[in-house]
Amino acid sequence: MRSSNIKWWIVWLLLSLGVAAYYGYALTGEDKTALLPGTTSHGHYQIELACDSCHGEAFAGGEALQAACINCHGDQLKAARDAHPRSKFTDPRNANRVALLDARYCITCHREHKPEVTDAMGVTLPNDLCFICHKDIAQERASHNDISFDSCASAGCHNYHDNQALYEAFLVKHGNEPAHLNPQRVPERNLHQWNLAVASSPATALAAGDADAPANRQLATDEFQHWVDSGHATAGVNCSDCHRQENKTWIDKPGVKICESCHKQEVSGFTAGKHGMRLAQGMSPMVPAMARLPMKAKVAKQPLDCNSCHGAHQGGVKEAAVDACMGCHDDEHSRHYPDSPHAQLWQQELAGLIAVGSGVSCATCHMPRAEVRQLGDRHVAIQHNQSLNLRPNEKMVRSVCMHCHGYQFAINALADGTLIKNNFSSSPTVEVMSAQMALARDEKRGAR
């Protein structure tokens, strides 16, 4: 066969595979597992059977697939000030680089169903990919002469997308900070106070006698007491506000949609991250039995929704920050947390021995307090997408560690695999050199 024939033969084969996959999917409806050309990446396998969410209904490829990636990740990359946005590569001056690697398309670097070539963060190219476009870097910067060509993004120095804690001016500004800053505290959350002020229900505290559930829908005494003591009762949120939306009939188990009517910010974070990604696709809620990470066996079937951390009637935030997580997670890192210095601080905060915000819970790192704007005002809210600052982990430097630690200490700790495993229970033994390089260059510039 001539090579052009081979090409057409491949196109035909792929098209028929695609069509067959589509009809097979449409016919069988239920079990789409058999149609998967291969399992999907760590980020996506929870929704891998929702083929349409990536491929669209017609299994179109190319721009349709690209549009799907942007639809779910576009805002996140924009907020991270993506260092390599598409616009960089539609610029004719970079055409020579695009010819080497077509970085206009996400799937050039992130393919799917290819577990054999898929690395951390769904990257399906070898980790010398940066070198393809940046092989001349040592000519511009002598400091890069002896650096191995596949270490750009693996040594805590650079990321492809998010360099917000890694750009040169930032390193110069923060490179000389001490390991511990003063004071060591995360900001206080205050969005809920604002919610309280604008709540549609009258914001007068409710007592036991005010509960408005019908007689056949009463709670056991201790569960009822949870509501009486909750922030909800204090804020005037009655049984019917959750159990009867828009005065409709009583709903026994109010879902995430109902919480959303008063807590939009939290629901949109939750559904964008790992915990809520199945609900966002209209699938059944995630349960620990579906996990690849180690989980406690006795909660295998417990669905993940707002109540799994807050309790339906408690609406608690303290239990949600550690106890809830430990109820499900059972990997080495999570199991080591209770012995860490951070956990001691958290216990001291709960006991009222140190200032509010000085403790470090699981949520302090994984659901950080972040500034949001609501009707033009700034508030500190809880980021409910626990995947947002997880990888690459330098994202935690600014959103979490630098409330309390200097830059160099934090970046060293995050680059140290032992510390991730022992949940930051010892001092870092790794030294990330980029801040020192930036400071040296800055000093030279100053001397000139």
- Smallest gap, in angstroms, from Cβ of residue 434 to ligand HEC? 10
Is 201 or 439 the residue whose CB approaches ligand HEC more closely?
A: 201
Sign of CA dihedral 262, 267, 269, 270: positive
Among 171, 365, 370, 415, binds ligand HEC (CB under 6 A): 365
Contact (CB, 8 A) for 164 and 399:
no
The rounded distance, in Å, linking the Cα atoms of 149 and 193 is: 51
Task: Tell which one of 156, 175, 288, 406 touches ligand HEC (CB under 6 A).
Answer: 288
Under rule CB under 6 A, residue 312 binds ligand HEC = yes
Answer whether 144's CB lies under 8 Å from 152's CB: no
- Contact pick of 112, 175, 370, 438 for ligand HEC (by CB under 6 A): 112
- State the minimum distance, in angstroms, from the CB of residue 446 to ligand HEC: 22
- Token pair for 90: 């539609």
User: Which span (143-151, 169-177, 364-372, 433-441) binds ligand HEC, by CB under 6 A?
Assistant: 364-372
Q: Is 156 in the site for ligand HEC (CB under 6 A)?
A: no
User: Among residues 100 and 440, whose Cβ is nearest to ligand HEC?
Assistant: 100
DSSP state of 189: P
Among 39, 56, 64, 94, binds ligand HEC (CB under 6 A): 94
| Contacts to ligand HEC from residues 199-258, by CB under 6 A | 199, 201, 211, 213, 217-219, 224, 227, 231-232, 234-235, 237, 239, 241-243, 252-254, 256, 258
Choices 3-11, 131-139, 142-150, 437-445; region in contact with ligand HEC by CB under 6 A: 131-139
- Among residue numbers 386 through 405, which ones bind ligand HEC (CB under 6 A)? 386-387, 390-393, 396, 400-401, 403-405
Distances from the Cα of 446 to the Cα of 139, 170, 174, 408, 442, angstroms: 21, 17, 17, 22, 6
How far, in Å, CA of 48 to CA of 67, rounded?
A: 17
Task: Establish if 407 lies at the interface with ligand HEC (CB under 6 A).
Answer: no
Segment 164 to 183, residues that bind ligand HEC, using CB under 6 A: none
CA gap 43, 62 in Å, rounded: 21
Residue nearer to ligand HEC on the CB measure, 2 or 85: 85
DSSP 245: G
**266 versus 432: smaller Cβ distance to ligand HEC:** 266
Among 226, 244, 278, 366, binds ligand HEC (CB under 6 A): 366
Place of tokens 């969005």: 191
Q: Are 114 and 38 in contact (CB under 8 A)?
A: yes
* By the rule CB under 6 A, 274 interacts with ligand HEC: yes
Q: Cis peptide leading into 183, omega within 30 of 0?
A: yes
Task: Tell me how far apart the alpha carbons of residues 322 and 251 are, in angstroms, rounded to a whole number.
Answer: 30
* Residue 380 CB contacts under 8 Å (≥ 6 apart), including other chains: 187, 188, 189, 190, 191, 369, 370, 371, 372
Least Å distance, CB 351 to ligand HEC, is 15
DSSP code string of 201-215: S--SPP-GGG----G
Q: Which two tokens stand for residue 44?
A: 């996506």
Nearest approach, Cβ of residue 143 and ligand HEC (Å): 14
Residues numbered 55-84 forming contacts with ligand HEC, rule: CB under 6 A: 55, 61, 65, 68-70, 72-73, 83-84
Residue type, 87: S
Nearer to ligand HEC, 171 or 239 (CB): 239
Q: Residues in contact with ligand HEC, total (CB under 6 A)?
A: 170
Query: Of 162 and 165, which CB lies nearer to ligand HEC in the complex structure?
Result: 162
Give which of 385, 386, 370, 400 is closest to 191, Cα–Cα.
Answer: 370
Q: Which is nearer to ligand HEC, 248 or 292 (CB)?
A: 292
Distance CA 47, CA 38 (A): 14
Structure tokens at 439: 């400071």
Residue 349 is a binding residue for ligand HEC (CB under 6 A): no
Residue 16 neighbours by CB under 8 Å, 6+ apart: none
Q: Is the CB of 162 or the CB of 174 nearer to ligand HEC?
A: 162
State which residue, 255 or 440, has the beta carbon closest to ligand HEC.
255
Binding of ligand HEC by 138 (CB under 6 A)? no
- What does DSSP assign to residue 295? B
Of the candidate residues 174, 175, 244, 270, the single one contacting ligand HEC (CB under 6 A): 270
- Binding region for ligand HEC (CB under 6 A) out of 5-13, 142-150, 339-347, 440-448: 339-347
Task: Please answer whether residues 117 and 414 qualify as being in contact, where contact means their C-beta atoms are separated by less than 8 angstroms.
Answer: no
Binding mask 418-437 for ligand HEC (x = CB under 6 A): -xx--xx-xxx---------
